[in-house]
Amino acid sequence: MTENRLIAIRRVASGVLAAAVLLLGASTLSAQGTAGKVQGTVLDPTGQPVASAQVFVLGTSFAALTNEEGFYFINNVPAGIYSLRAQFIGYQPAEISNVRILADQTRTVNFRLSGAVALEAITITAAENPIVPRDQVASKAIVTGEEVDQLPVTDALTVVQLQPGVISGRGGSIRIRGSRSNEAVIFVDGTPVRRFDTGSTILNLATNTLQEVSVTTGAMDAAFGDAQAGVISMVTRAGGPRFVGTFAYESDEPFGKNTSRGWNRFEGALSGPLFGNLTFSVGGTVTGNRTAVTGKRMTEIPVYTFMGTDTLMTVAEGATDSALVAIPHIIQFGGECDASQNLDAAGNPVECQGRRRPYGWSTNVRANAKLQLTYGRGSRISLSGLTDIAQNMNAQTMNFENSNGGRTVSNLLVLDWVQQVFRGAESELAFDLNVSYQTDRSLNGAVERQLGLDKRDPFLGIVLSPLDFITDFDRFAPGLASDIAGGGHLITQLKTDDDWDRLIENSRYDRGTLRSYLLRSEVNTRSIPRMNAYGVTGGFSNEGVNRGQGFRVERRYVGRANIDWQADRYNRFKFGAEGQIGRLGRWEMGWVNKSFGNGYVGEPYKYGLYAQDRLDLGDVVIELGVRWDKFNTRTIFPLVPGRIYTNPAFDQDATVETMTCPEVEREDCDINQYVWINSRAHTSLAPRVRVSFPVTDRTGFRLSYAHQTQTPDMFNMYNGTNNDLAATNPNDQFGGDVDFGKTILFEFGIRHAFSPDMVLDVAAYNKDKVSDITYRILGFTDTFTGGISNLNVLTNADFGNVRGVDVQLIRRFGNVFSGQVSYTYQNAQSTGSDPTDYLNGLARQSGGVSGDRPEAPQFTLRTRDDRRHNIQGTFALSFPQDFAPGSGIGAVLRSLGVFGTFQFRSGLPYTLLKNNADGQRTTGGFGLGALAAEPLQSSETGWEKLFDLRVTKGFRFGPTDWTVYADIRNLLNFTNKPVLFMETGDVVNERYLEE
């Protein structure tokens, strides 16, 4: 259920420099998808064009000269807020301030010069920033960094979910217009940060370091690939001409354990000039939670744990020996209780912790830094570094030996260079180069018992030192004491590529180190009968460790090069290429045996070429583009899934290369002679057309058509490819060398401006999904048994269709109020909601007398993430520092801000099951032995309602600005039930209460 928190106090003060003031300086950024264009005309007092006038972007080196018609343009201006100045001999210079440049958009700024009555004076005018860019050729929402910082949200992706066309799927995942999870690509400072392994992005940015966040839900620019659903672009702030420093602390600790979950957050940032046009920016956040998120009424559920020793018992061991056994003392930790009746082993009262759960903390650290230099009249270079570190402990109550947690570290280093080759009054040629190095490393499993005890309740929920895992990258197999146990192939660490290659070779040859505690069942968890607070004989272990281990590593080298040619005033051509190569490894295995384990390494690559012409005629914009992509997993696949070392063609003395078929097609390989086949390259061609034009002076129309393809995630492609049926069974999943996923999108939209301060936008779309990946049950000749084995193998067999309408109303009143509300309707139909939807659902059903599993559907059903109706929005009410001077109401409202977000959304479909008390939930599959009680996806969870508010009050103290605020989540205390039991359609299953 929805959590009911948090009221927090935040204090914002200046940073390192005493003279620093909390101002958002002109930020300058770079890279593909992070810069925009400014153009316009310079006229004299009579309205005639001024030729050869100079136009500058203040605080940078960007400048231009007007042509004979007084027209100028400046390409590749980093997203941010600027002042522009125009000047010409004999006229008074004119300056326009507060000009916001949006990434991938064109901003028109016109100047009218005054007569030279006072040449030393400058006419300064504040710009009126348009609500929606005029040249938007596809549905796209843009949120500024200031808005992200003001709204009651904890990360940028939460803001994305408040935009039209974006919904929240199962588990809160982002779904764009009926897409699957991870079908959108995320760019950070112009580089894609999609992982090869899972297709997801685990790197997230600190909210106080963002300049802009945008989400394209319509057809994508040809420069963007590897996405079926859309593009989410995040642009980080860079330094400006002034020093800016901020520091903040916020917490929910003061409001009691029944409301608070021990949430604490520190954030800070500092930016400014270094010398010349070189600027810097650093910033980050540290967030701690003493306990995991819990829902309403969790205070009514008692949770018990051990605390100290209750007594010592003498237990006989054999006929003559005995041993002392410590019986732990049990107290109530979570829920409500009378402390005087809840005593520790020494008789001291222990206060219950309300909604909190024991030993379940989490810590997140996000930081980034940027250096940027602008030079010449249109060139720049920048270097960005970002890191995201997350670690947590999972709540334990009765078995501290089984304490477990996880740690993930993601790093990103981006170098961006834009070099202007030449420019004229109407033309320009520039070269863009963006390269990045990205790493992800995660580990989850059992931690050392003493660490679990020492860090059961860390200060503020913040632990900066790495967890000490029993098995980790430096200590892979502590249960194998000698090379004899490894059979000559002992692996003690997973630190190098060679270590990983040897481990996977061991798996293929079924030798050496495969498990940390090979066949040592004594390490498994066990229960001392009835030694638990609940008085049951099973289900609550007291000793032993029964944790699998998960290791994941990945590094990526990403490069993008682009030729940007403004051929004339109207045509802007782009020709580019991008490529990625990676190295990844995954090992997920139990300690004692490897049933349903998974392990692989890979060195995949993908690259693409694109060309595009943008014809900008003012109000009419036509964009034509085409994109070609290629990828290869660069691995080997078993010719018979699940048959490797039990394949009669396998030879323990032969190399993998000699047992790999040299042919390209599987049908050309002799399965009795070879074990594997090499992966092959896959290609795709994707045309794109985007157009916008006016219908009236206040109404614009747009349409777009695009083929959008995406590389499948390597996890599903590599999945089970090193598993043998001797160590698993046919219920396991086996990856395959599948093709691109593909979506064909058509969209049309209309935008009407009732005034410069109120805009209505309506978009309708149709998406055909023609080749989504999915597992299907296919028959293979089993070279070991000689029969036919039906196995779960990856294919491109899923297909579907999505139709929908997005409506958005944007309104503002001067600089005091701005807000947007949107309604999204979608109808998403598919043969599968995700790659395992069929296996975890329909395939679990018995097929009548034969007992065969039902075949996969060849007709579309509602997807399990098809949230039909979505109403969402944001608003900001902010009174300036000079509001109503000299009045009482002005003293109250001055520097006051009220910022809110709201969502009202219909439920998600699910299938009601017969009540076997198996505990299946709507976020998961049917489970073993479950039976559907109705046609698939016939039921739906209830509507969800969310309303969050942040109220701020600013005041000045010396040279610094301070802000105090209250942040209230779920202000109206709505009760939401996003997850239900599939057997009852409710959060309660009465069969659990039966005796």
pLDDT at residue number 222: 93
pLDDT at residue number 634: 95
DSSP label at 846?
-
Main-chain phi, psi angles of 838, to 5 degrees: -65, -45
pLDDT tens digit string along 400-433?
777 788 999 999 999 999 998 888 878 889 999 9
Predicted confidence band of residue 136 (pLDDT cuts 50, 70, 90): confident
Q: Please state, for a pLDDT cut of 90, what percent of the chain lies above it.
A: 47
Q: Please check the confidence at residue 924 and state whether its pLDDT lies above 60.
A: yes
What would the DSSP string read from start to end of 696-712?
SSSEEEEEEEEEEEEPP
pLDDT tens digit string along 831-861?
999 999 998 888 877 654 455 778 888 889 9
Residues sharing a CB contact under 8 Å with residue 676, sequence separation 6 or more, in sequence order: 636, 637, 638, 639, 656, 659, 660, 661
pLDDT at residue number 224: 92
Predicted confidence band of residue 29 (pLDDT cuts 50, 70, 90): very low
Least confident of 504-518, 734-748, 846-860: 846-860
The Cα angle at residue 489 between residues 485 and 493, in degrees rounded to 5: 90
pLDDT at residue number 530: 55
Q: Please check the confidence at residue 935 and state whether its pLDDT lies above 80.
A: yes
DSSP label at 340?
G
Residue spans of alpha helices (H) in 413-496: 449-454
Predicted confidence band of residue 154 (pLDDT cuts 50, 70, 90): confident
For residue 727, CA distances in Å to 642, 672, 790 come to: 9, 21, 17
Predicted confidence band of residue 121 (pLDDT cuts 50, 70, 90): low
CB-side exposure of 868: number of CA atoms within 13 Å? 10
Distance of alpha carbon 189 from alpha carbon 33, whole angstroms: 8
Distance of alpha carbon 435 from alpha carbon 108, whole angstroms: 31
Q: Please check the confidence at residue 931 and state whether its pLDDT lies above 70.
A: yes
Q: Please check the confidence at residue 129 and state whether its pLDDT lies above 70.
A: no
Peptide bond into 6 cis (omega under 30): yes
pLDDT at residue number 521: 67
pLDDT at residue number 26: 31
Quick one: residue 165, left, alpha or beta (phi over 0 = left, psi -120 to 50 = alpha)?
left
pLDDT at residue number 440: 96
Least confident of 345-349, 672-676, 975-979: 345-349
DSSP label at 543?
B
Rg (CA), the chain: 31
pLDDT at residue number 106: 84
pLDDT tens digit string along 819-832?
999 999 999 999 99
Distance of alpha carbon 264 from alpha carbon 251, whole angstroms: 4
pLDDT at residue number 2: 43
Q: At residue 301, what is the residue type?
A: I
pLDDT tens digit string along 891-919?
888 889 999 999 999 999 999 999 888 88
Q: Which domains does the chain have, with CATH numbers?
A: 35-126 (2.60.40.1120), 136-289 (2.170.130.10), 298-341 (no CATH)
CA pseudo-torsion sign 617, 618, 619, 623? positive
Predicted confidence band of residue 585 (pLDDT cuts 50, 70, 90): very high
Least confident of 163-172, 224-233, 286-295: 286-295
Cβ contact 694:611 at 8 Å: no
Kindly report the number of other CB atoms within 10 A of residue 985's CB atom.
18
pLDDT tens digit string along 392-409?
988 776 777 777 889 999
In this predicted model, which residue has the larger pLDDT, 652 or 528? Answer: 652
pLDDT tens digit string along 944-966?
999 999 999 988 888 888 888 88
Averaged pLDDT, 461-466: 91
Averaged pLDDT, 707-734: 93
CA pseudo-torsion sign 41, 47, 53, 54? negative
Kindly report the number of other CB atoms within 10 A of residue 695's CB atom.
11
pLDDT at residue number 59: 81
Distance of alpha carbon 986 from alpha carbon 978, whole angstroms: 10
Least confident of 243-257, 643-657, 791-805: 243-257
pLDDT tens digit string along 538-584?
556 666 676 778 999 999 999 999 999 989 888 999 999 999 999 99
Least confident of 336-340, 344-348, 393-397, 445-449: 393-397
Name the most confidently modeled range: 26-30, 147-151, 227-231: 227-231
Q: Quick one: 607 exposed, middle or buried, by C-beta within 10 A (0-12, 13-18, 19+)?
A: middle
Name the most confidently modeled range: 233-242, 308-317, 525-534: 233-242
Residues sharing a CB contact under 8 Å with residue 795, sequence separation 6 or more, in sequence order: 736, 738, 773, 774, 775, 776, 778
Average pLDDT over the chain reads 85
pLDDT tens digit string along 747-798?
999 999 998 889 999 999 999 999 999 999 999 999 999 999 999 999 999 9
Predicted confidence band of residue 21 (pLDDT cuts 50, 70, 90): very low
pLDDT at residue number 529: 56
Least confident of 23-32, 116-125, 126-135, 850-859: 23-32
Averaged pLDDT, 229-258: 89
Residue spans of alpha helices (H) in 86-217: 145-150, 156-160
Distance of alpha carbon 747 from alpha carbon 10, whole angstroms: 43
